[in-house]
Chains A and B, each alone.
Chain A
């Protein structure tokens, strides 16, 4: 059936999206995603190979600003919003699976 997706597919998508879903959520989203994709079957069924895609409603290309030095946002103000910061940088847990 067009649109329907499996729980395994949904779990894969959750991993891609970095969402640590519960079993209940996974079940619910599997079902609800299937329903939305089923609704989208009208679009999926269209033959549109010769229609160009629209990525943006107002086509502007190569929008550049003048290359001049100007003040950015204040670093300390930005770092003060971080869950953890140290020595002027954002602090995160280990990224390679072993403690530093």
Chain B
């Protein structure tokens, strides 16, 4: 069935001239047309531009050129990645209609690799949320059960890949915004090491935590996309110099001899059916030749508190630029200060204002040391505890989320309960490490469960090796309804 066709399969066929990129695109556009009204994965589908791009890929193949490793593969982009001339909204009214004057490096790289951009996907406004319900343009629904959320903030990208709208998508992960929706939608989602993927052209949320990463239906596809987007970029001063880890070649090396730690602290408060799958995953790694032991990383229990001080603090600073002066919305007022405040009040949604309030408070005189300063010291504790764990083991395994996909509306009135759905993913961002969520069977409700593999910075090769083992060992999931 073509909806389960892999990106690598498509690229292989297109590069060899066996299939046309245009035909591949039309099949995906048909699927989008059929289910997008129900799911709302996209803020914008760019069918015309995609047809031009696909025809160009076909023209190059016909001329004897190689369009690249993602030749003719449809890809969906989270709508906080800047695309020159194409609206980029961050699912916020404050940016409605804005057309960026430049393109994000990660987007340039996928296009240069032959991928065909099909559209911009829905997200929680400015990537702040865990369900994609905080979008100014309405929620995205989970393709496995449209009464449930797809997770967030990259919920549109996760849903697009799960629904067969595109085999690949890009998202951004600040506290779990790739891995959590990947888990809830039953696809692979990767948070690369901080600094491996350029943030140039990613609209900033919390700059010391944000990282762009891949969504795919298979581990090999995710690895291929990772290799296309990773690498030094002089336009991002936090970009790691030197070559990124090579992961595709390591994919079939297995896990024999690897030491894997079950993360002791991320078991409390996790649904029993999710925890059962995590234990099965550990058993599968053991059966494949890894050793498994329980490992403690005590400071991760402070992760959620530290994150919800650091991320809003950085956000309140980054979002100061939305002032009604240079782009986007302006609400007129008698003077500039009143215009700024009226514009921001009208343009930002409830969650964004809440985070700006929280972050401004945490940074304000008299509270900086008690909150923001303390949280940054906790970040050091978490990194130290991870370093100690990685002296004992090569990888850690944990749930990606506390539960399977929850019903729309269940957590919208209680921000703290929504924040808790990121408890398993946040520590990785605070440490700047790598992690992946791999689909591993379903919960008792028949909905996908994601198992998270955590690796130290630059540990992507061993992480992908273990992910491939889990993928091969995963219990059969339920077919899409």
Chain A residues in the interface with B (C-beta under 8 A)? 5, 9-10, 12-14, 16-22, 25, 29, 32-33, 35-37, 39-40, 42-44, 46, 48, 51-58, 60, 63, 65, 73-74, 77-78, 81-84, 90, 92-97
Contact = CB atoms under 8 A, between A and B. Distances in A.
22 contacts: A9-B361, A18-B341, A19-B345, A20-B342, A33-B354, A39-B308, A39-B416, A40-B375, A43-B309, A43-B378, A44-B374, A52-B377, A53-B380, A57-B194, A58-B195, A60-B237, A60-B238, A81-B327, A83-B329, A93-B338, A93-B339, A94-B336
Contacts of B237: 60, 63
Nearest to A35: B416
A52 B374 CA distance: 10
Given A36-B416, A48-B377, A57-B457, A92 B316 contact: no
- Shortest 3 CB-CB contacts between residues of A and residues of B: A57-B432, A83-B330, A53-B376
Interface in B59-101: 98-99, 101
Nearest to B85: A77
Contact of A81 (B309, B326, B334, B354): B326
Contacts of A78: 101, 326
Interface in B309-352: 309, 316, 320, 323-330, 332-342, 344-345, 348, 350
B459 to A, nearest CB: 14
How would you classify the secondary structure of chain A's contact residues: helix, strand, loop or mixed? loop
B233 to A, nearest CB: 11
Q: Report which residue of B101, B193, B324 has the largest number of chain A beta carbons within 10 angstroms of its beta carbon.
A: B101
Contacts, number: 174
Nearest to A42: B305
B342 A93 contact: no
B240 A53 contact: no
A22 B335 CA distance: 19
Given A19-B341, A21-B345, A33-B358, A54 B98 contact: no
Interface residues on B, range: 35 or more
A32 B415 contact: yes
B360 A54 contact: no
Given A5-B361, A20-B344, A81-B326, A93 B336 contact: yes
Interface in B427-468: 430-433, 457
A58 B429 CA distance: 12
A40 B371 contact: yes
A17 B360 contact: yes
A16 B335 contact: no
